[in-house]
Amino acid sequence: MVNAADPSSEARVLEIATGPGHVAFEFAQKCDEVVGIDITEAPLEIARERKQEQNVKNISFEKGDAEDLSFGDNSFDIVVCRLAFHHFENPGTVLQEMSRICCSEGTVAVDDITVSEFPGRASYQNRFEQLRDPSHVRALPRSELLELFTECNIEVTSVGSDVVVQQVDDWLDLAQTSTSQAETVRDLIEEDANDNLSGTRPFWQGNELYFTQQTTVVVGRPLNELKINK
């Protein structure tokens, strides 16, 4: 994410849904000031403890709602969000807020899981993602994420992609999925392995089941109305 945003040392950076602050701390190594916000207090406490332990002076963490940011217009040079858009009920509202608080000609970047462009296949993946983690709302197809950028008056400057290979049992354990739900998720992924239902390409390696998640990082710059209309 830091490489994609390509920050200057003078940049003021905001990370949305920072969690324990992993991405924010990476930006803090390169930028003058970094702020991380999250709606949940527990991961923010972890981030604050790390800040104190490592004596990082140029980073702060605040509780905040991504759909209603407390910052003024044009407050940051760079606004980023990593692996959180699939948790938002209204991702378009979040992106509009990210655009609002980013200065014109600044950088807005979103990195998230993306699903198949075919609705049925996308729904299949989102179904087992939701069963594994009820906070998963909906991962978007790449085209829909790009469309949101345009709707929010953010001109896309780069698009990248990656693949994350997940070992199913470890992935379920990480989310502390209940035993009954985990069994349902495994059944769905095994069926996917047999019938190619989602595009996640599940496979067996010995007795262990794996699948892949596609991720997309979209980087853009907010445009004011004058530049849009020219």
Tens of pLDDT, residue by residue over 157-181, are 999 999 999 999 999 999 999 999 9
Q: How many residues does the chain have?
A: 230
What was the pLDDT predicted at 226?
A: 53
Q: Which CATH architecture has domain 2-225?
A: 3-Layer(aba) Sandwich (3.40)
- Regions in the chain scoring below 70 on pLDDT: 225-230
What was the pLDDT predicted at 228?
A: 56
Closest CA to 98 of 140, 68, 64: 68
Where do the H-state alpha helices sit in the chain? 2-5, 22-28, 41-54, 91-101, 119-132, 142-151, 168-174, 179-195, 225-229
Task: Indicate the helix (H) or strand (E) that contains 82.
Answer: strand 76-82
What was the pLDDT predicted at 105?
A: 86
What was the pLDDT predicted at 225?
A: 64
What was the pLDDT predicted at 227?
A: 56
Distance CA 97, CA 226 (A): 19
What was the pLDDT predicted at 164?
A: 97
What was the pLDDT predicted at 224?
A: 73
Distance CA 102, CA 74 (A): 5
Q: How many angstroms separate the Cα of 59 from the Cα of each of 56, 108, 137, 150, 166?
A: 6, 19, 29, 31, 31
